[in-house]
Structure 1
Amino acid sequence: MEEFVKPRVIVSKCLEFQECRYDGEIIRDQTVQNLMPFVQFVPVCPEVEIGLGIPRDVIRVIDNDGVDQLYQPANKLDLTKKMNDYSEQFLAEIGEIDGFILKNRSPSCGINDVKVYAKAEKSPVVRTSSGLFGSQVLQRYGNLAIEDEGRLKNFTIREHFFTKLFTIASFKKLKKEGLLADLVEYHARNKYLFMAYQPTILKKLGNIVGNHEKKSLQVIFEEYEKQLYKLFEKLPKYTSNISVSQHLFGFFSKDLNSKEKEFFISMIDKYQKKKVPLSSVASLLRSWAIRFDNDYLLKQTYFAPYPEKLIEISDSGKGRDYR
């Protein structure tokens, strides 16, 4: 069974960790609960850290000639500098980090869909943006796995977040150890996962690992990391998953009888028509890898890119709509 690296993840403290929301409440979140055994959480509440109490008067983001400002109308407080200074210092000092789960729509932590008002007092919403802390997270760590708890309720977004989080955390551990043999092995077991994401980048990663130009280890790891971040910029398309499934099927086709081959073809057809989830096709292929004792395929992260216990019962039958 795959042993996963334990990623270090910054999380909004009001999500499962402390009653520090503006109204003094704590927010229960299933994804954060599920992740607790598998990640090292670093909880933070920027609003409390800059001196606002619990509970506290509402703060909002306002538009000042196109510049986002953080304001507390009840006390006529401009909190922009305090929040920006705190965010910059916290993120500069936090050390190695692998991902973020932040409170959605929060004027401090939100990463999108944060309401921006025309002015401090009663006024209309003129646009949406990121919160002030969330904005600095995106600027400094935009390549990492970053989501809010609202979007993580969507299966496809959550699966991508988990995959990116654990795959990149695993790479960063290898980079720290700096052994080319480990990178070669990492690339081999991620081959079909990477193929599902972006086949062209898989090829570039293979060329980097091949090191035909005899580059230094440091350059190899840096170039590989750069392409790895590009790989995860987009979610896999369902057509890519079909292509990967057909590649994997090729390992067994000569050993299968005609009915088994027909069944696989029918499963691909049903997946293409959204009648069965990707997990059904993957489970079939994995069962053949076990049956024929194909150790190379059983090590492929495509079948399990993150801890299996993170899959919720409600996730059963999902996983078709990659875009």
Structure 2
Amino acid sequence: MSPESVNQKPASAGGFPRPVLFISRCLGFDSCRYNGETIRDPFVEKLKPFVETGTLCPEVEAGLGVPRAPVRIVLHGDRPILYQPATGKDITPDMLAVTEAFRNETQAGEFDGFILKSRSPSCGFKDVKVYKSDGKDPRNISGSGSRGTGFFGGAIAETFMEKFGLPVEDEGRLLNFTIREHFLLRIFTLARFRMVKESNTIQALIDFHTDNKLLFLGMNEGGMRELGRITAAYNKKNLADTLDSYEKELKKTLVKPPSYKAMINSLQHAFGHVSRDLLPKERGFFLNLLEEYRDERIPLSVPVKLIASYAVRFDNGYLLRQNLLSPYPPGITDITDSGKGRDY
């Protein structure tokens, strides 16, 4: 079951590549929720001008109309089922067919990331309510139930997040600034690498690695060094193998959000390229900013923007090409933070 492609645009905007995202269709693309409504998520709306999207509503694809009676996950006996209490229908076979078709028809490199509807019995990939029946009739709920994954969303996470290393989030978790920033960093970096694969030249890979060296240092120093080793080991007979190895290591390098310690280390390396040109008070000011960032009093963007201003001021070619200074379009996100969804 291929997702419907919408909102397609030219390959880049403002110098940034366009990540290709799968987004649950109800998140601002169609009025396909059970109650016939759509959800205008502010972050998804901000993303739309900067990305290409494929969308799908698994419940509609499974044959449920709009509007429709709600469905729920019920642990019936020893297995979960997708059940529609108002009609008494077990939707499980149809939903499994939709899910399997999507997994079979979607290539690993087709999307750079996924945004799913949170807590949905179909699209939710975590924290979905699971009811427990009495074992005789799925309409008879017994006990408080538990939390699990939706049928479609759980399969997406298992295949594309755990197996292929792609970012998978939901609109609820993306209210958290740290999660949102990490998601953006990953999808735009993966989109840049997709352009490297399309160019199919070693020079494009060398340029990509050089442009992202400080970013990788701030994400995972061990990963940065392994990516450098893969690039240096290239010979003209194995570019495809080199790109494949690099992509696998790249996804591992990006999978965890940067720690304060690692990112400060990267910023100090960047600062070393301009510090000799600064006045003592300017150097002290920057180092104080790093301490404020370490203490979580300011976001990462503050010391990064200051480094960027130094790069422009001194026309430092190495820093000006670093994606750390501008990993994604500045108009997408802000520093608002729900404080929810944090799991690291």
TM over 0.5: same fold? yes
Amino acid at match of 1:134: G
Distance of aligned partners of 1:64 and 1:81 in 2 relative to their CA distance in 1, 3 Å threshold: same
Alignment correspondent of 2:187: 165
What is the match of residue 208 of structure 1? 230
Q: 1:64 to 1:213 in 2, by over 3 A?
A: farther
Structure 1 residue 100: Cα displacement: 1.1
Query: Which shows bigger deviation, 66-75 or 31-40?
Result: 66-75
Q: For the residues of structure 2 that align with 1:49 and 1:281, how far apart are their CA atoms?
A: 47
| Residues 238 and 322 in structure 1, CA contact (< 8 A), matched pair in contact too | no
Residue of structure 1 aligned with 2:306, choices 284, 289, 294 = 284
When normalised by structure 1's length, the TM-score is: 0.93
CA RMSD of aligned residues (A): 2.1
The offset of 1:215, in angstroms, is: 6.4
Q: Secondary structure at the match of 2:64?
A: coil
SS at match of 1:74: coil
Secondary structure in structure 2 of the residue aligned to 1:36: helix
Matched, 1:34 2:56: no
- Of 281, 286, 302, which aligns to 1:259? 281
**SS of structure 2 residue aligned to 1:310:** coil
CA distance in structure 1 between the aligned counterparts of 2:103 and 2:336, rounded to whole angstroms: 34
Can you list the C-alpha shifts for 1:185-218, whole angstroms capped at 9, x where unaligned?
0010011111111000100000000016776111
Partner of residue 95 from structure 2, selected from 62, 80, 83: 83
Quickly say closer, same or farther: Cα 1:66–1:217, change in 2 above 3 A: farther
1:2 Cα deviation (Å)? 6.1
Percent identity reads 42
Q: Give the length in aligned residue pairs.
A: 319
Amino acid at match of 2:146: R
Choose which of 100, 103, 108 in structure 1 pairs with 2:117. 103
Aligned pairs for 1:171-320 within 5 A: 171-211=193-233, 216-312=238-334, 314-315=335-336
Gaps of 5+ in 2: 1-12
Cα shift at 1:270: 2.1
Q: 1:5 aligns with which of 2, 14, 17?
A: 17
Q: Which amino acid letter does the alignment assign opposite residue 153 of structure 2?
A: G
Query: What's 2:6 paired with?
Result: none
More deviation in 85-94 or 174-183?
Answer: 85-94
Name the SS of the counterpart of 1:90 in structure 2.
helix
Cα separation, 2, equivalents of 1:257 and 1:247: 18
Aligned twin of 1:117? 131
Q: 2-side partners of 1:283 and 1:170: how far apart?
A: 21
Q: Distance in 2 between matches of 1:66 and 1:145?
A: 31
